């Protein structure tokens, strides 16, 4: 779109493949930078299902900690200490995962809003 | 399996179609195996037929395939980055398999493979082991930095590292439990309300309307859960490739 109609005679050749490849690569790099190595939002996810996702995270932590503790206890004959300890650690890990999932959901929703606002401004 | 008087969880029963025993190992071809084969067959059919014509203006099947390809390609590019392109075939296969199993489970008299915890756990464990191997292969010992976030006071580390390690190992559990619970609970609910329709006689029109709405919602959940399974696998892959938070 640079030249317009005037340089039709001398710029008739289509761009060479290597030039096109370069441009494509530049565009991809620009796209990557704009996305910020980033995360896409969940376009269709409501608040309820995001909350559900987070609660599964919490529940899985407890389940995993308790389960591993129970098996190790049975194996090593240390009932009930490993169960208690690993259940607590598992709950903490579940909380950590739930916290991260929430942060991610928050960033996604605010990021989506920001990028939309950005494109409108331009 | 919708006959009255059966328990609502009867639909999840696995039974042998062709019993195969190899020594002590039970390799029987079950109804679950059958529906997995159906799902894989359908995916292959849709994809090959869609890619057959390669028309400039795509027909229905071709645009279905192209939509799926585009969707997952964008998902991988945005969540893993450009270096994630190598893993696109895996994520695409995973997404398609979960999607088809979920949606096929909505067909009356079919069987929901993803309503079995062992199936979803096997899928999640595949992702988990694969991602861990990729992370160690790409970063070597630096992969362990995933368990010790930068900028944490040194005296908190002894407590934080076990928690981080457990939170890493919880991933396959939460990934599989999420998919399994969504599908299992939805199908049980449908069955329970279908029982109400028969019990209530004429007033059963209420639960019937609910079921119609709920089936629509379940279809939405089926697609959403396949999407969430794929996006979380992408996020784990991203973590493995860039272990410093």
pLDDT (tens digit, 9 = 90+) per residue, A46-73?
A: 677 777 778 888 999 999 999 999 999 9
**Chain-chain contact of B170 with A56 (C-beta, under 8 angstroms):** no
Cβ atoms of residues B38 and B104 within 8 Å: yes
**Chain-chain contact of B169 with A64 (C-beta, under 8 angstroms):** yes
Give A69's contacts (C-beta < 8 A, 6+ positions apart).
Answer: A82, A83, A84, A85, A86, A87, A90
Q: Which residue has the higher pLDDT, B119 or A37?
A: B119
Share of chain A above pLDDT 90, in %: 25
Mean pLDDT of chain B: 89
Nearest by Cα to B229 from A91, A90, A106, A56: A56
Instruction: Tell me what the mean pLDDT of segment A81-90 comes to.
Output: 92
**pTM for this prediction:** 0.81
CA angle, corner B117, sides to B116 and B121, nearest 5?
125
pLDDT score recorded for residue B210: 92
Interface of B with A (CB under 8 A): 74-75, 78-79, 81-82, 162-164, 166-167, 169-171, 173-174, 177-178, 181, 220, 224, 227-228, 231, 235, 242
pLDDT score recorded for residue B149: 78
Among the ranges given (B53-57, B106-110, B167-171, B217-221), the one the predictor scored with the smallest mean pLDDT: B53-57
pLDDT score recorded for residue B59: 82
pLDDT score recorded for residue B1: 43
Residue with structure tokens 């002590």?
Answer: B24
Nearest by Cα to B191 from B114, B116, B105: B105
Q: How confident is the model at residue A35 (pLDDT cuts 50, 70, 90)?
A: low
Share of chain B above pLDDT 90, in %: 56
* CB < 8 Å to A42, chain B: 227-228, 231
* CB < 8 Å to A90, chain B: 166, 170
pLDDT score recorded for residue A28: 74
């Amino acid at each position: 779109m640079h030249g317009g109609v005037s340089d039709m005679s001398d710029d008739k050749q289509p761009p060479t493949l290597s030039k096109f490849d370069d441009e494509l690569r530049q565009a991809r790099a620009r796209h990557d930078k704009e996305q910020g190595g980033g995360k896409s939002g969940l376009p269709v996810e409501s608040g309820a299902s995001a909350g559900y996702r987070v609660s599964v995270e919490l529940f899985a932590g407890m389940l995993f900690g308790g389960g591993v503790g129970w098996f190790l206890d049975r194996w090593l004959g240390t009932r009930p200490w490993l169960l208690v300890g690993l259940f607590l650690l598992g709950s903490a890990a579940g909380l950590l995962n739930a916290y991260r999932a929430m942060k991610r959901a928050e960033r996604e929703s605010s990021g989506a809003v920001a990028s939309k606002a950005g494109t409108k401004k331009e | 399996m919708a006959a009255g008087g059966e328990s609502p969880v009867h639909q999840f029963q696995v039974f042998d179609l062709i019993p195969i025993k190899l020594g002590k190992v039970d390799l029987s071809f079950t109804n679950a195996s059958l529906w997995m084969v159906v799902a894989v067959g359908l995916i292959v059919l849709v994809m090959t037929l869609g890619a057959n014509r390669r028309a400039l203006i795509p027909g229905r099947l071709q645009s279905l395939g192209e939509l799926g390809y585009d969707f997952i390609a964008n998902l991988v590019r945005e969540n893993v980055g450009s270096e994630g392109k190598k893993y696109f075939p895996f994520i695409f296969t995973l997404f398609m398999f979960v999607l088809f199993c979920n949606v096929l489970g909505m067909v009356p008299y079919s069987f929901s493979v993803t309503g079995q915890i062992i199936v979803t756990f096997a899928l999640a464990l595949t992702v988990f082991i694969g991602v861990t191997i990729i992370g160690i292969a790409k970063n070597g010992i630096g992969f362990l930095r995933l368990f010790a976030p930068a900028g944490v006071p040194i005296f908190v580390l002894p407590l934080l590292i076990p928690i981080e390690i457990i939170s890493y190992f919880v991933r396959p559990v939460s990934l599989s439990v999420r998919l399994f619970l969504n599908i299992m609970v939805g199908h049980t609910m449908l069955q329970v309300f279908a029982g109400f329709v028969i019990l209530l006689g004429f007033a059963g029109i209420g639960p019937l309307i609910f079921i119609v709405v709920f089936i629509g919602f379940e279809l939405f959940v089926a697609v959403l859960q396949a999407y969430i399974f794929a996006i979380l696998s992408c996020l784990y892959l991203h973590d493995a490739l860039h272990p410093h938070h």
